[in-house]
Chains A and B, each alone.
Chain A
Amino acid sequence: MTKSIAEINEKIAKGQAVVVTAEEVIDLVNKKGVAKAAKEIDVVTTGTFGPMCSSGAFFNLGHSKPRIKAGGGHVYLNEVPAYTGIAAVDIFLGATAIPDEDPRNRIHPGEFNYGGGHVIEDLVAGKDVRLVITAHGTDCYPRRKVETWINLESMNEALLFDIRNAYQNYNVAVNLGERTIYTYMGLLKPNLGNANYSTSGQLSPLFNDPYYKTIGIGTRIFLGGGTGYVAWHGTQHNPNVLRTEKGLPRRGAATLAVTGDLKQMSPRWLVGTSFIGYGATLTVGIGVPIPILSEEILSYTAVTDNEIFAPIVDYFEAYPQRSPDILGEVSYAQLKSGKIKIQGKDVPTASLSSYSRAVEIANILKDWIQKGEFYITESVSPLPGVDSGVVVKPMQERPFEEEG
């Protein structure tokens, strides 16, 4: 059995496409078998909703009168600094940016209550934010300071651009140390007091297409409540990792760079997030549709939490020191049971990514496709695969005393 994306889109146009979520497909395949289910199902929808630090947005602010060149100057949105090293009124705001005046970890652990992710959430919520630009002034851009309220509607373009999202698998974080530590994987209690994980497992986009047979550059997706696109493979994309027999990566592997029109998005799916003692970030909702072009592709989407394994990593010593040591592997089914065993000890588990919201995303995307509001795209170019030679490299430090 094979289907083409054009055939699936024809069915979507007629309102006849059979769309199920990556959770619903599991039972269907169990009941009907792969061959029959692959004939019936056209699209499987996935979802994930978790903190994703490599997120941010480009904005074009519009030109003031007289003009000001923010490029090379300083721009703040609600006191959060944005990057100005591009043309006059184009700026980039990163999710982890925090106000210059934020005490950070000077009083440890810092709270990081407001950062770039929160500004993005406020903007998509339609709120006014305070824009302050300072610049050096030129003949063509004479202004040196602008202070004004601004909102998303008044800007020209506003583009979410996340350079690394939707990690295919991720560490389970624990703490072997004697004191509480404050990490991007949340608060970790001493002596294996808790274990935090962060993916939606069987619903996660890249676990449902482990060899990137459908997801590629140009794939149209649900992003932050609007539609977006896969722009590239994400940074630290690392497809050639240890895999299970079924091909599921047992370590962090592929990632996606994604982009979309921020003006279509919603604060329900882009949520400013704070990790105590660590920093600010943005929780992002992503859903990727997987066209069922073959039985093989369908069988990948029937993956269950029992079959997905993640490495357990100590964030007290191993992670900060970049040691490759892991404390074992654990399945997502075990993680979701509420406790896992590490070194003979029962350790309670918690998720940083919301499974219930991931289900909601998969259902929204399903609804869009069923209503004919969202069509499936053929990818323009595939993501680098297992044999691509793409690997993630560590930094090799070379002291300045050596020849450059």
Chain B
Amino acid sequence: MTKGKKVVLRFPHRLVDKPIVYRLVKDYDLQFNILKASVTPKEEGLLVLELSGKKKSYDEAIRFLTEAGVETQPLVQDVFRNEDRCTHCGACVTICPVNAFIVDPVTRRVDFHDTKCIACELCIKACPVRAMEVRL
């Protein structure tokens, strides 16, 4: 089993009204949890999913999505911290709904656990020095 792989799917305009995600369940026996879904003004669909299932099925499903014209990308790259800007104040700590920011009790520095991140983007504007950035 692959457990909880987070992936960003980008649907071009022509695919926005096509049923695609259900096939991940039906054909590839994957469980999905929607972390984020939006249709941008240019009518591109964006979906952030957490997918669990057999590794082989997961790989095949990604291949299916790619061939269907959906752009896929692992989630971890999406929200990242600009280490030069972060001052380790800690303003983000209570804003993050999944506790991806943890204050080290000894150094008082803020560690960002990007594997926990669900790309909700709440930290982006809550960071006073704008150290959190999105790459979508």
Contacts and interface: CB of A to CB of B under 8 A. Distances in A.
A271 interface: yes
B126 A352 contact: no
Given A338-B103, A356-B107, A359-B108, A113 B130 contact: yes
Interface stretch (B6-14, B42-50, B89-97): B89-97
Contacts of B90: 350-352, 354-355
Interface in A317-370: 336, 338, 348-357, 359
A95 B112 CA distance: 29
Interface residues of B, number: 19
A192 to B, nearest CB: 11
A348 B90 CA distance: 12
Interface string A264-289: 00000001111110000001000000
Nearest to B93: A350
Given A189-B94, A194-B94, A49 B125 contact: no
B128 A186 contact: yes
Interface string A158-174: 00000000000000000
Contacts of B94: 189, 193-196, 348-350
Interface residues of A, number: 33
Interface string A237-280: 00000000000000000000000000000000001111110000
B109 interface: yes
Contact of B108 (A113, A196, A355): A355
Given A111-B125, A272-B129, A273-B129, A283 B87 contact: yes
Interface in A109-139: 109, 111, 113
B107 A283 contact: no
A374 B89 CA distance: 27
A354 B108 CA distance: 8
Given A194-B95, A350-B91, 12 more contacts: A49-B89, A50-B89, A189-B94, A195-B94, A196-B94, A273-B128, A283-B89, A336-B108, A350-B93, A354-B89, A354-B108, A359-B108
Nearest 6 CB-CB pairs, A to B? A194-B94, A355-B108, A351-B90, A354-B89, A350-B94, A348-B94
